[in-house]
Each structure stands twice: as C-alpha cells, then as structure tokens.
Amino acid sequence: MANNTLVLSSMRRASLIKELNAFISITRLQDVPPSSSKDRLNGFTVAVKDNFCTSDFKTTCASQMLSDYNPGYDASIVEKLKNEGAILFGKTNLDEFAMGSGTVDSLHGPTKNIWGSPLHYTVGGKERTSKPSWRIAGGSSGGSAVAVASGTCRIGIGSDTGGSTRNPASYCGVVGFKPTYSSVSRHGLIPLVNSMDVPGIITRTVDDAALTYNVISGQDPKDSTTVEVSPVKLDDSFNLNKIKVGIPREYHCEGLSPEVLEAWKSIARILQEAGAKVSQMSMPHTSSSIACYSVLNQCEVASNMARYDGLRYGHRSSRCKSTHDLYASSRSEGLGIVVRGRILAGNFFLLQRNYSKYFEKAMKVRRLICDDFKRAWDEFDVLLTPTTLSDAPELKQFGRLDNREQCVMNDYCTQPANMSGCPAISIPVALSKNELPLSLQLMSNNYDEETLLSVARIIEKYVSFPHLELMD
C-alpha cells in the first residue's frame, strides 16, 4: 500500500479519536516520503512522544516553556526509524516534561483512554456492554499509547523513566517495552532523569516491538552511554523447558486489585504448565523503591531544568525589570505547578546541609535495589509481576489525587526496573469486569531482551488478547 494511502487512513482515524487528545501535531500529506519495499519498517506509521526532538515538528514537552521550540534535527531513534521507511505521523501528548503517570498534566489538556470511552469500538469483534466512562490513558506516554491502541499508528515511541511506556500500555491494552538502559540512544530525548531515561516502544504485538527494537538499538556516537547490542531473534521453536520464572512476593502490594492478582496467578500457571519452572522469591528493598526514586528523580530534575531560565532556553517573560525578574517570571509563566514543585524539592535535597541525608542515602538504597536484581538473575531468567495495580482509573477520580499520589499508585511495580536498568515489558493478558485491559510485566537480566521478548511472545500466544477495533 502506498504511503499516502496509509497516512490518509491514519488521518481518518486521528479525526475519529480527536476527542481523546492523543496528538499535539500531525504530518501533512505533502510531507509523506515515498515507500520502499527494501526498508524494514516500510509503511509503518509512527507516533512519537513530544519530548523527542524532530526536524519536521515543534517539540514542546507539553509545556509553555517550549511551546515554540523547533529543534531543527531528529533524535537518533527518529532518524533510525525514518531511515528504515517508517512514516512519522505525528507528535503525541504527555505530562509536562514527562513528569506524571496519567497524561493529565499537559499544556494541551489531558489525554483520554479509548477503552471505556463513548467512542464506537468493538473488542474481539464484540460490542461492549459496560457503561461508557472517561478513563486515564496512563502516562507519561499516554498519547503514544492511545495512538497505537486506536489503530491510528503501528508504532508508538515513548520515554520510560519510571514506567512511562509500560504504564500507559497497560491501561490501553497494548505492548509496552522498555529496553535495557544504554541499549538505545537518548540523543535528542529531552532529559528528565539522565540516569534512568530510556526510549520505549509501544506496539500491538511483541513481534512489532522486537522489530522496532532491532531498528533503534545499538551504539550511537552522539550518546556516550550506549553500547552495541545483538539483534533480537524470535524463534517459533523457543520453549519454556529451561526457563526459570520468579514471582516477587513484594509486588503483591497494598492496592493490588483482586482482578490483577487473579490474572497474575493465571499467567504463572500457564507458564508452569508450558514447561517453565515457576517459584516465589523475594526482592526485599522493593518497598523502599518509590521513596528512593522520588528523591533521585527530583534531584536530577532540578539540575536538568536549570537551563530553562528565559535566557538560555525556553519561554522569555516580557514582565521583567532585572535579570532576577527575568528568571523568576519566565519560569513561573513557562512551567506548571508539578514541574516547579519537583524543582523546589530537588534543590532542597541538594542543599549542602541535606545532600548526605537525602541524595546520598537514596543512591545507597538504589544500590541495594540493584543488588536485589543481581541476585535474582543468579537464579531466574525472568520475573513476572503486575504492571499496574488495577484497570484504568476514571479520569475524575484520578484527578483528585496530587501528582505524588498518582505516581506512588502507578509506578510501584514499574520503576524498580528503571533503578536497575534492566529491560521490562508490559503485555495485556485479560479484560476486567469493566471490560478494560489488565496487564502483567516481565523483567529480565540486562541485555537479555531476546529471552524477555520470547517469553512475552509465548504469553501473548496463549492469552490471545482481544484487541480493540475502532469503528466509523
């Protein structure tokens, strides 16, 4: 199919889901490149989170601070996608500077989940019976997840610092994959937390996630943290007979819904019956992970956001009589309350009198969490956990929580993988009584994406999750 035809189809779908507010900007038909059957991603439409730099679109980070920012270049992974024939269809909504877990704190307004919405769709060819209600899409890569879940795009690109790819994938019933830290270039990704940020992949299938990973992964001279990695090969002959699956007790946490718990038990049984050795194990420092992550996140945010002062980068206020006024007014006008709050907290933790009490202690706890994972990989090939604690919360209910409460609820199961740097994937496995997706997470040792994706592919095959189909 010609690229123009594919883009027209995506444009039609984008118009149908306009009320969901997934896209910040969309390509023009005259800018669509010609197709080439030699390219690995020929004809794949891609939705890119609006914190990745792009030469064809503004990159706003959903913030007034960067509302007019034109980078003039493509992030390394965007360049790689284009070079393999992918069509950059549009830039997607996010929490401002990716600081959130619901895609509700954006300059452009919240993104809504297509699942549960009043839009006309079927699931597995069947009409839904539940009453429509607006649900969160998850975040902070909610726009990319909705773009894929609605069938508007084949691939969604997000960033993942504490679960920002896996979380919305879980709520939107699609695959969300965070590769190993350093296996994919961060060049052109506007940083949140440099030591944890990883470009993430959102697709409908594990096969598409693997294909995309093989395109975007590998060493990049523009990102000194990257290393060369082997391509993932998914083989139909792969079996679970030698695979050891760990079930961490600590992920059976407060707030875990009975439906997610039952799905977790069910998939563990399926893996065991398919030949895997499944057993419970312990990750003792998991409960400290959220507090540790919060401190480290805010410290790096304070450092990274210092550049946005109206002089070097970003929105410049016209209401200033001095340099001090310029800084203060530009930042108060250009940055939302969540971002300003994290900057203040981070600067507090980094004060000389507080540095050892907060930042250094958090770094030590992070090391203990990493050691938990290292010990796990001595015994297990993969860990199986929930991704999110429930199906997608209602938008109004979620909005009553402050940003920290939202992240504590949504990031508990996902952010430990960012602390350790290991790869992780979220896979939809069942529907809740509300006819919404329930998902589970797999994690594996660093750079063992092949095992991770192979096991995920087997789960995908067994559950045959009924994907949503948008109707005209």
pLDDT one-digit tens code per residue, 266-317:
999 999 999 999 999 999 999 999 999 999 999 999 999 999 999 999 999 9
What stretch of H or E contains 60?
Answer: none
pLDDT of residue 81: 98
Is the pLDDT reported for residue 23 higher than 90?
Answer: yes
Total domains present in the chain: 1
Percent over 90 (pLDDT), the chain: 92
- Sequence length of the chain is 472
pLDDT band at 403 (very low <50, low <70, confident <90, very high): confident
Tell me the pLDDT tens digit for each residue of 208-227: 999 999 999 999 999 999 99
State the DSSP code for 467: -
* CATH number for 28: 3.90.1300.10
Is the pLDDT reported for residue 1 higher than 70?
Answer: no
Mean pLDDT within 124-138: 94
pLDDT of residue 250: 98
> Which residues are catalytically annotated?
49, 140, 164
Mean pLDDT within 132-144: 98
- The domain of 203 spans 1-472
State the DSSP code for 32: P
pLDDT band at 33 (very low <50, low <70, confident <90, very high): confident
Mean pLDDT within 62-82: 98
Is the pLDDT reported for residue 133 higher than 90?
Answer: yes
Q: Global pTM?
A: 0.97
Number of Cβ within 10 Å of residue 195's Cβ equals: 16
pLDDT of residue 150: 98
Mean pLDDT within 94-109: 98
Mean pLDDT within 179-192: 99
What stretch of H or E contains 257?
Answer: none
Is the pLDDT reported for residue 29 higher than 90?
Answer: no
Residues 6+ positions from 428 with CB-CB distance below 8 Å: 169, 170, 173, 174, 175, 437, 438, 439, 463, 465
Tell me the pLDDT tens digit for each residue of 372-383: 999 999 999 999
CB 161 within 8 A of CB 98: yes
CB 96 within 8 A of CB 106: yes
- HEC profile of 63-132: CHHHCCCCCCCCCHHHHHHHHCCCEEEEEECCCHHHCCCCCCCCCCCCCECCCCCCCCEEECCEECCCCC
Cis peptide before 15 (omega within 30 of 0): no
Is the pLDDT reported for residue 438 higher than 90?
Answer: yes
pLDDT band at 406 (very low <50, low <70, confident <90, very high): confident
pLDDT band at 8 (very low <50, low <70, confident <90, very high): very high
